[in-house]
DNA sequence: GGAAATCCGACCTATTGAGTCCTGTTTAAG
DNA sequence: CTTAAACAGGACTCAATAGGTCGGATTTCC
């Protein structure tokens, strides 16, 4: 349906929250979840994914939490989506996965034209960073 | 997940098929379904929706079928999506539906910035017509 | 040692997408 | 004037995904 998932939205909200304060400060998943009334467990997993992708850094232990690993203007929205969704934001299934995932791949006539939309969307999301959603 | 639905893809394939031949010719749902190996019943319903939106015209009866109601360059992809999905191609839920559909609407901080992506995407899809996917 | 945090996989459940079925109605052809 | 080929459309099933939850492990500060 061409809509961002809640996970991505939650991730963006969290990233924006961190971008508001100065660099180096750590935020716990709990405080972010409370502030925006997000489901804690879900947000935690999202932040873990962002950690693995080196978008944020985590410090464990009792005074731990998350902090941005890059400057806000360096974090592309497209990278965030890709990380949280485990794949690129793709307009058509056959672009996201293999050529053999779509049963009508051979007969399909709109594949190439959709590639054009794909590229446009991609540059749209690449040129947008966390800096711009503050 | 930011992906077009099969319905939309099938609709675009059908529209492109009709756009290939000259205007006025009618095509049955059956022949299109066979040609591209699409599920007949599903395609039929898609074409019915496109009919109600005056994107195609249908003629009933034994020699009936569907034909484009507009010239290919007049049919916007965004209109096709909107018709088949019953709504606009919206990046965020709160844009597509009311302000009260998202539980964190008030706390949400990324709503406005996403509006920017929204507008970009919209113009992208409006400027693309069936003519361009031939 | 214990509290507060991240980590991570397994699990559950509601919603949506994809597809099917069935019964109409329309209309050209024979 | 009957029949077959088409559209019209609601109801339904099935499968996949999204969204959310749980339980337990590990890390680290006090
Ligand atoms: S082959 Fe065509 S129908 Fe299949 S996923 Fe790609 S664009 Fe869509
Ligand atoms: S209010 Fe925010 S989180 Fe909710 S749908 Fe809109 S953009 Fe997404």
Ligand 2, pocket residues at CB < 6 Å? A 9; B 92-94, 102, 104-105, 108, 110-111, 114
In a domain, B1, yes or no: no
Domain range spanning residue B50? 6-133
Q: What is the pLDDT of residues A31-89, one digit of tens each?
A: 999 999 999 999 999 999 999 999 999 999 999 999 999 999 999 999 999 999 998 87
The answer to whether residue A1 sits within a structural domain is no
Assigned domain for A30 exists:
yes
Min Cα distance A99 → chain B (Å) is 16
CATH code (residue A99): 1.10.10.10
Q: Which residue has the tokens 């996917």?
A: B133
The residue-averaged pLDDT of A93-121 equals 85
Residue B56 lies in a domain: yes
Q: Do B90 and A124 make contact, defined as CB atoms within 8 angstroms? A: no
User: How many structural domains are present in chain A?
Assistant: 1
Indicate whether B128 pLDDT > 70.
yes
* Residue A24: per-residue pLDDT: 74
Q: Which of A21, A10, A75 is nearest to A47 (CA)?
A: A10
pLDDT tens-place string over residues B42-62: 999 999 999 999 999 999 999
**Phi, psi for A60 (deg, rounded to 5):** -85, 180
Residue of B nearest to A3 (CA): B91
B88: left (phi > 0), else alpha (psi -120 to 50), else beta? Answer: beta
């Amino acid at each position: 349906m061409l809509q961002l998932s809640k996970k991505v939205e939650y991730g963006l909200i969290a990233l924006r929250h961190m971008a508001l304060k100065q660099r180096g400060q750590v935020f716990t998943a709990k405080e972010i979840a409370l502030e925006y009334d997000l489901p804690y467990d879900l947000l935690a997993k999202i932040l873990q994914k962002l950690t693995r992708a080196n978008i944020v850094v985590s410090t464990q232990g009792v005074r731990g939490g998350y902090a941005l690993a890059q400057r806000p203007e360096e974090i592309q929205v497209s990278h965030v989506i890709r990380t949280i969704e485990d794949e690129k934001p793709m307009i058509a299934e056959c672009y996201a996965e293999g050529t053999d995932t779509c049963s009508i791949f051979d007969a399909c006539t709109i594949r190439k034209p959709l590639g054009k939309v794909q590229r446009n969307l991609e540059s749209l999301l690449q040129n947008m960073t966390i800096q711009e959603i503050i």
